[in-house]
Chains A and B, each alone.
Chain A
Amino acid sequence: AQTVTQSQPEMSVQEAETVTLSCTYDTSENNYYLFWYKQPPSRQMILVIRQEAYKQQNATENRFSVNFQKAAKSFSLKISDSQLGDTAMYFCAFMKPILNDMRFGAGTRLTVKP
């Protein structure tokens, strides 16, 4: 079974600084998808960024980028120019095709300080 591990329960960063959230996963699959979701205090789950395992190029979405290391089974999220609105829980998730069921890490609570 696939497992997703987020080893940082809480992190904080100063506004405008850069922060990296860590995620590792365990799978025997070769084809899969990885995600970072953001959950603000409203508890709405918002998709931040997606990475296909077959793509070597790291995904980027504006201030958000990932460092995908397939051999190491590592998938970290870098947030540049942090904003107060980035304060939220961040969840790393793994999904394999066919059934498309998703496995989540325990989350990292990020606080952006003014």
Chain B
Amino acid sequence: SQTIHQWPATLVQPVGSPLSLECTVEGTSNPNLYWYRQAAGRGLQLLFYSVGIGQISSEVPQNLSASRPQDRQFILSSKKLLLSDSGFYLCACLGQGRHEQYFGPGTRLTVT
């Protein structure tokens, strides 16, 4: 089964600074990958998904971007963080049966 790693686990960044969150997947090849954001006490909002290297789809207009430089690597970035970018960011991978998603441990981002 697949294992999803996210780095870093927590991050505190000032407004206007850049951002790079990394997600890597083990145990599968050519997976569908997803970035979600969870605001405090809320559900998950899909930000980006990718069906292959270099293929990124964005769900909502925002201050963030995503890239997939390798088959099992998915990166979430920003050039200049906003206070509203604070939240809990989760990376997910479509299961090999293609019937469910599995999640990484998440990154808690606080923008000050």
Chain A residues in the interface with B (C-beta under 8 A): 33, 35, 37, 42-45, 47, 50, 52, 91, 95, 97, 99-107
Contact = CB atoms under 8 A, between A and B. Distances in A.
Contacts of B59: 101
Nearest to A44: B105
A42 B90 CA distance: 13
A44 B106 contact: yes
B101 A95 contact: yes
Q: Counting chain A CB atoms within 10 Å of each CB, which of B44, B51, B94, B102 scores highest? A: B44
B43 interface: yes
B69 to A, nearest CB: 21
Q: Counting chain A CB atoms within 10 Å of each CB, which of B32, B41, B88, B100 scores highest? A: B100
Interface of B: 32, 34, 38, 41-46, 49, 51, 57, 59, 88, 90, 92, 94, 98-103, 105-106, 108
Contact of A105 (B43, B51, B102, B108): B43
Contact of A45 (B51, B90, B94): B90
B90 A107 contact: no
B15 to A, nearest CB: 24
Main secondary structure of the interface of B (DSSP, over half): strand
Nearest to B46: A101
Given A33-B99, A43-B88, A101 B105 contact: no
Given A99-B49, A102-B34, A50 B42 contact: no
7 contacts: A33-B99, A43-B108, A45-B44, A45-B103, A95-B100, A99-B57, A102-B92
